[in-house]
Chain A
């Protein structure tokens, strides 16, 4: 009843039949409850982004089953999944249209997954909502509705992308290392904003991060991926008491190898 997303035995390989054949996802199964905020961590090549892209529908999966709110979306193209799923990318340039204004970007997001017709793209009633929501970001963007997004800084754009992804609450929010490309101060600002919005709007979210501290600090459940599989899955009280050394030990116990990437340990 309270299942938001169900993934069963997901497999994905790239460049099948060539010497570069790469079996990235090796049978991932996961059930996500409504209001879960799950952080995903793992080294380079663990399959985190491929996992998120599979859910978003950027490419068809080779094997497995994906259902969102009990609806089978395994074969649904990305633009139709947008009805349920919204996302924020790592690259701030990916989430917004640079030559469109702030309000035009928000208007595009406002119709996410809905039919678009010949009605006016931005109505006065929407503009009011955009203004209110932008005010909550506390970046002064509410006074710059007609400014081209290309003129904003990376942090401002990422905050706007986050607002676009959540202005109409999605069934599932996907965050793909969305603070990784920002400087530490901006990264923290965007992360706090993310946490606040997820709590306020009671969103179900999956967040990839490269930073163990962040993975532990945020969310109610933590998943660690290695070599295309889930090797650690902790939630609830266990997750709350988790420390970085605990996580390293869990990883070692479950995967049979130690974490060797400095980036992962040091954040």
Chain B
């Protein structure tokens, strides 16, 4: 039971990363690989600040800002230098590898014994798992609540419109380039925030902890979309959180089957490939899927 609770609590922390991926992948409609660098960037910033005795609140906040800066770089490369989104992300991600090493000073950084956000909740007299659940729930609620408000402002609508229909947005006077950059910054800020929280949960930051994050994020999103269709933004983000938790539970299940942890990334990759390929596979089996009526008559 405890191991399941632990997976759920970790799923909450990971879900903030998945929400960040959702912003670029679904709202902006770009595949942004900066994730793989901004996630460990958040961990590195938070970890090294904690080791130096900085308050975990400030360390976590600065991790978010660091991630947003990484998003700014990718967004700028993509929008202003017209580098394809995938390549812009790879460029930033590669550069961040060196930057993350510089920030940490070494390939991994242990923060055991430092005061973390989770530790400060534990100090109230609850177990680690409960503390992570509390921190995760609060963080997720705050993030989704703020995003819900933000994406219903004039600028928020403009960002969603830009990702949905570029030509229409420009015709309506939206500065599409700037809107994309804001989306990149928000998304990567959240991804770094997730990295910072997981570092505080795990007790260490590692230079290679970003590998595969984009796959985890996308898998969480796809799981959410397979089970729930046509939702408003806030509800969709909530289902992404559920997707992240389901994903953690799936990993747990696989580990319980005595699969070598080394093979987890392969499992994740296969899971995502199947989830992404599902629509195409379904369309080849027309008998098994309900026919959707398309078009319809006017008015």
Which A residues have a C-beta under 8 Å from some C-beta of B? 56, 78-80, 82-83, 86-87, 89, 93-100, 104-105, 107-109, 111-114, 116-122, 139-140, 148, 153-156, 164, 183, 185-186, 189
Contact = CB atoms under 8 A, between A and B. Distances in A.
Given A100-B160, A118-B153, 15 more contacts: A80-B173, A94-B165, A94-B168, A95-B168, A108-B158, A111-B158, A111-B173, A112-B173, A116-B174, A118-B155, A120-B153, A121-B154, A140-B299, A153-B296, A156-B299
A260 B218 CA distance: 54
B269 to A, nearest CB: 28
B296 to A, nearest CB: 6
Contacts of A100: 157, 160-161, 164
B168 A96 contact: yes
Nearest to B167: A94
Given A100-B157, A100-B164, A121-B154, A185 B298 contact: yes
Nearest to B297: A153
Contacts of B176: 79
B257 interface: no
Nearest to A84: B173
Contacts of A96: 165, 168
Contacts of B1: none
B276 to A, nearest CB: 19
B123 interface: no
Nearest to A78: B170
A207 B153 CA distance: 34
A97 B299 CA distance: 19
A97 B160 contact: yes
Given A94-B167, A104-B157, A118-B153, A109 B172 contact: yes
B156 interface: yes
Contact of B171 (A82, A107, A118): A82
A5 B152 CA distance: 36
A122 B154 CA distance: 8
A115 to B, nearest CB: 8
Contact of A97 (B168, B173, B296): B168
Contacts of A116: 154-155, 157-158, 174
B295 interface: yes
B170 A111 contact: no
Interface in B136-182: 152-158, 160-161, 164-165, 167-176
B284 interface: no
Closest A-B pairs by Cβ, 3 of them: A82-B173, A97-B164, A116-B154
B230 interface: yes
A121 B156 CA distance: 8
17 contacts: A82-B170, A82-B173, A97-B165, A100-B157, A100-B161, A116-B154, A116-B155, A116-B158, A120-B153, A120-B154, A121-B152, A121-B153, A121-B154, A121-B157, A122-B152, A140-B299, A148-B230
Contacts of B160: 97, 99-100, 104
A83 to B, nearest CB: 6
B274 to A, nearest CB: 25
Residue among B173, B295, B296, B297 facing the most chain A CB atoms (10 A cut-off)? B173
A93 B175 CA distance: 20
A153 B167 contact: no
B154 A111 contact: yes
